[in-house]
Every structure is written in structure tokens, then in C-alpha cells.
Structure 1
Amino acid sequence: MTRTLISSTQLKRSRVRYWTLLAVVVTVFTLVFIGPLYWMVTGALKSAQEVAQTPPTLFPRDPDLSNYTAAWEQLNLAKLLFNTFYYAAGAVVFQLIFDTAAAYALSKLRPAFGNVVLGAMLATLMIPAMVLIVPQYQTVISLPVIDVSLLDSPFAIWLPMVANAFNIFLLKRFFDSIPEELMQAAFVDGASPLRTLWSIILPMSRPILGVVSIFAVTAVWKDFLWPLLVMPHPETRTVSVGIYTFAGGIPQNVVIAASVIAALPTVIIFLIFQRNIMSGLTSGSLKG
């Protein structure tokens, strides 16, 4: 038997304590995250009286799937979901075009004072979003110079989302990991910076472009205050604003069912693309 400073019995006890503590911590955090989702899903299957009951029931007594049908019809979820998909698709397109161009310029073209510009962008991440609501709203209701209102226009959602310093930083870090030899070889072959971006950089950047796209979709999907301000007309509302607006005279269980339907698309997107998310977030951390 090998002699050590700690006996094998003590080592086994330490391992048991470690794994026990780890299991307890993981279980507690899982319950904290899963608890609200479980309450939402089960609440959508309960009657209005059972939802309002105190203390709440852990399982629905008589599960009723008709709450989902009522939510779809009474809250006009088809129109709300279409609006949200439309805004999310536009946000993805605008961010991929402008944020990618900004990150490519800062990473590979290296303009004068590029680090200063990047530092100023990153500094904006320290400003609370609520502080920017008033100046952004003042800009949207009356665009400078041209004096045009963007209320009830999708550009009121798309344009503020383009200025996303975090996504630009993610893209720049990924572009930094692409070897300079590829850029030099493209320039020797006569490729312009734009052709190099299109033919070399973008095909190699699919993981991080997927991450940025998913971030853009989830940002539009979960946003509430900004769409509430800039989309006042019922025909232009997002799903989160629509559920909040139409929920006044509707039973609570139907509202909960509508929330479940509204949350499903983002959950499905995450389950499908979770590998792409992780690979995109880590692929730029090592130099290639």
C-alpha cells in the first residue's frame, strides 16, 4: 500500500462530502431556474380558480389544454408572433451587416484611433439601459436633421439594436483569431478588403455570426419597455407588449398559457443551436 499524508479513508470521506455538496448546490440552482418555468407550464393547464388559489397546487387537478386555444384566439397571438418574428429578422440582418463591418474594420483594417473608438464603444456597456431610454425616445419621435417620426415603424426597433458594442466586441475578438497570413494572401491575389471579408472572413465566421443572430433574436423577443414606447398601435405590437396590453379582461390562466406560447420559440431556438452558441463563444478565445 502506498503511504500518503492523508489516509485512503479520509480521502474517500472527502470525495463523498465533495460530491454531496456539489449535488446539493446543483439541485438547488436547478430548482431556482426551473421553478418559474414549471409554474408557468402547469399554471396554463389549471382553471382560473385553481391559479388564484392560496396556497397554490403543485399539480393541476384537471389539466385543460383549451387554455392554449383560448389564449391563441383571444390575444390574437398569430399577429403578435408575426410582428415579433419580423422585428427579430430585421434586427438580425441589420446587426450582421453593420456590426460585422465595424468589427472587421477594427480588427483587420485598423483605422486611425481604432482602439479609441473601440474603448468608447465598450464604455457604453457601463451605462444602464434605462438611462438611455429618454434620449433614444426623443431621437425616435423626431430624427435629427430630417425631422421624421419612427413611431410604429420597425426602424424604431432595428436602428437602436445596430449600436451593440457587445456584439461588435465578440465579432472583433473572433476576427482577431483569424491568421493574418490569409489576409495577406488575399491582398497578394488582388482581392479588395470587401472581397476578402465576403470570401474569406465570413465563411470562417459562421459560428460567431450564429451567436450574434441568436442574441439579436432573443433581445427583440424579451424586450418589453422599448416596444411598449415606440409601438403604441395594436397592429404593430410585439408579443410581450400585446400579452400585457390585452391581459386586462382575460382570466389569469389564459394569460399564462399565452406566455408559454410566447416563450416556446426562443426555447426551441436555444435547444436547436446550443452547440453553435457554445462553439461560437469559445472559438475566438484561442489564436488559430
Structure 2
Amino acid sequence: MSTTARTLISDADLRRRHGKLVYRLGFAGMAILFVLIFVFPLYWMFVSAVKTPVELAQPTPTLIPHEWHFETFLVAWQKLEIGHFMLNTALYAVGGWLIQLTVDVAAAYALSKLRPLFGNVILAAMLASLMLPAAALLVPAYLTVANVPIIGVNLLNTPWALWLPAAANAFNVYILKRFFDQIPNDLLDSASIDGAGRFRMLWNIVLPLSRPVLAVVSIFAIIASWKDFLWPLLVLQDPQSQTISVALSRLSFASYVTQNEMFAGLALASIPLIVVFLIFQRSILSGLSAGALKG
């Protein structure tokens, strides 16, 4: 029994005299529109960085600068201490990635292969937390890191204020669990017969087979930590310990920073994430699709 895919334009329309031409023009127009929507803000940010403050202040904006001042990037790097704040952000991102990966892998492995009592209820409660708006959790999370229950430690202005609240990510746990479910239990049973314990099966069998989804979770964790703004703004009150996004927001009100220097700082801060996406975009898509189908 043959099946035909349902599309917006049927094969009969495409076979008409002008059908294929209209289809291609419409497709090209939509592609150009989406490119402009997503790429134009980046273009405007980089172009504004190489303009002069006088040109930026003109009432009529210019798409192409009259003069190109690339030295603004070097001035912004030094004046705004971009290197220092990028190093802070990289430290927070790498530490948060390690802690989040450890916690999420352990939780997903337990729910998928260890089958704890009320495991489905625990998973449902984790997924239900995704329905809550992030703003609703700010106050209880802040009170928790300001005075950790039982031990009474203040974690403000420390990396742990960023690492611990992000350690358990329900979305990542769900993705990892779906992937772990595809690993045959017979493979783990064979390893158990050979004397492998639960941790050894995780380390030697499950994790090597899960490299695609681990890469996706890692990229998500690093990108989320790098671009986060509101939570670091609340818990990192010391200017020298702030992330790049919080520092640029604070320096935007400084009288000694010009508009083109601020645009240059924003452009420099966005380069690492753009590079990460361009390098790992294929890994992101393949890792997500790897856990989408059963079997």
C-alpha cells in the first residue's frame, strides 16, 4: 500500500506551468525572511561596534558605517575588562557543566535502569517542575543559597550559588532517561553475570554508548550557563565575580563607556556561543534525534 506525504502544495500544483516557479520563489522568500529576522540583530550589533559615537547618535541610522573603526574592539576589551569577565563566565560554565552532568546522569540512570520504587512518580514530579515559570522560583532559590538549610552557609558571591541550583535539570534528565531506555537490558545483564557492578556498568557500558546525547546535554548546559543573566545578577553582587552578561549590564550605565564600545563588548561576549553553535550544530541535531525513537 503506497502512501503519499501531505504537503502544503500538492504534486499536481507543482506540475502546473507556474507551480514550481511560485513554490521556489515562495520558499526562497521565506528563507530570506527568516535569515533577516535572526541574523540582522547580530549584524547590527557588530556594525554598531565599528561606528563612531557621532554616527551612532544620528537620528537616521546607517546600515553601512561611513568609517570602519575596528580598533573599538581592542579598546572595549581593555576598558571593559572583557577577558576577566569571560574567564569568570568560563569557570562558572565548566563547573556547572560538570556538576549538572554528574547529577543528571545519575538521576537518569537510576530512573531508567535501577527502577526505584515510585520512579514514575518521581519522573512526573521532575517534569511537572518544567511547567513552573522560572520567575516563580527566584525567591525560594535565593533564600536557599543565602542561608543553606541545616548547615546555614551563605553561598552568595561564590560559584556554588550558580552551580547548585542548576545541578538538577528536569529536561536533561528526561532526555538522558529516554536514551538510556534504548540500551538493551540484556547487555547489562551479561555484564552483571561477569561480575560488573552498577557503577561499572554505567561507566563502561552506558556512558560510552551515550556519547551523542551526552554531547547535546553538555552543549545545552554550557550555553545556558553562559547566557544566563537574571540569576547571576541576583547572587553575584561583587563586581569582580560577575559574569560577562551581568558585568556588561552594569558597565552600560558607566559614563566613561561609549555606545560603540558597549556594542563591541556585546559582540565579543557573543562570539564564543556563536562559535560553539557553528561547530556543534550537527551534534545537537543528531543527539536529539537519537533519543526520539524507540528501538
TM-based fold match above 0.5: yes
Aligned partner of 1:218 in structure 2 is 223
SS at match of 1:18: helix
1:287 paired with 2:278, answer no
Task: Give, in angstroms, the shift of residue 287 of structure 1.
Answer: 3.2
Q: 1:55–1:106: structure 2 CA closer, same or farther, 3 Å change rule?
A: same
Q: Which string of whole-angstrom CA distances, capped at 9 and with x for unpartnered residues, describes residues 215-242 of structure 1?
A: 1111111111110110000111000001
Task: Give, in angstroms, the shift of residue 149 of structure 1.
Answer: 0.6
1:64 paired with 2:69, answer yes
Aligned partner of 1:254 in structure 2 is 261
Aligned partner of 2:4 in structure 1 is none
Aligned-pair RMSD on alpha carbons?
1.5
Structure 1 residues 1-288: aligned runs within 5 Å: 11-248=16-253, 249=255, 250-288=257-295
Task: Give, in angstroms, the shift of residue 11 of structure 1.
Answer: 2.3
Q: Which moved more, 1:188-197 or 1:16-25?
A: 16-25
Q: Does structure 2 retain, via aligned residues, the 8 Å contact 1:95–1:162?
A: yes
Q: 1:109–1:252: structure 2 CA closer, same or farther, 3 Å change rule?
A: same
Task: Give, in angstroms, the shift of residue 182 of structure 1.
Answer: 1.1
Gaps of 5+ in 1: 1-5
Separation in structure 2 between the aligned mates of residue 36 and residue 133 of structure 1, nearest angstrom: 29
Aligned residues: 283
SS at match of 1:160: coil
Task: Give, in angstroms, the shift of residue 8 of structure 1.
Answer: 8.8
State the AA in 1 paired with 2:238.
Answer: H
Q: Does structure 2 retain, via aligned residues, the 8 Å contact 1:178–1:287?
A: no
SS at match of 2:267: helix
SS at match of 1:162: coil
Task: Give, in angstroms, the shift of residue 13 of structure 1.
Answer: 2.2
SS at match of 2:165: helix
Q: 1:49–1:175: structure 2 CA closer, same or farther, 3 Å change rule?
A: same
Q: 1:75–1:180: structure 2 CA closer, same or farther, 3 Å change rule?
A: same
Q: Which moved more, 1:11-20 or 1:276-285?
A: 11-20
The TM-score normalised by the length of structure 1 is 0.95
Q: 1:116–1:12: structure 2 CA closer, same or farther, 3 Å change rule?
A: farther
SS at match of 1:56: coil
Separation in structure 1 between the aligned mates of residue 226 and residue 82 of structure 2, nearest angstrom: 14
Separation in structure 1 between the aligned mates of residue 192 and residue 17 of structure 2, nearest angstrom: 61
Separation in structure 1 between the aligned mates of residue 210 and residue 200 of structure 2, nearest angstrom: 15
Task: Give, in angstroms, the shift of residue 108 of structure 1.
Answer: 0.9
Q: Which string of whole-angstrom CA distances, capped at 9 and with x for unpartnered residues, describes residues 38-83 of structure 1?
A: 1001111101111222221011111001111111111111110000
Separation in structure 1 between the aligned mates of residue 135 and residue 155 of structure 2, nearest angstrom: 20
Q: Which string of whole-angstrom CA distances, capped at 9 and with x for unpartnered residues, describes residues 137-172 of structure 1?
A: 111111111111100010000011112100101111
Task: Give, in angstroms, the shift of residue 286 of structure 1.
Answer: 2.5
Separation in structure 2 between the aligned mates of residue 182 and residue 139 of structure 1, nearest angstrom: 42
Separation in structure 2 between the aligned mates of residue 66 and residue 253 of structure 1, nearest angstrom: 11
Separation in structure 2 between the aligned mates of residue 71 and residue 78 of structure 1, nearest angstrom: 10
- Aligned sequence identity (%): 49
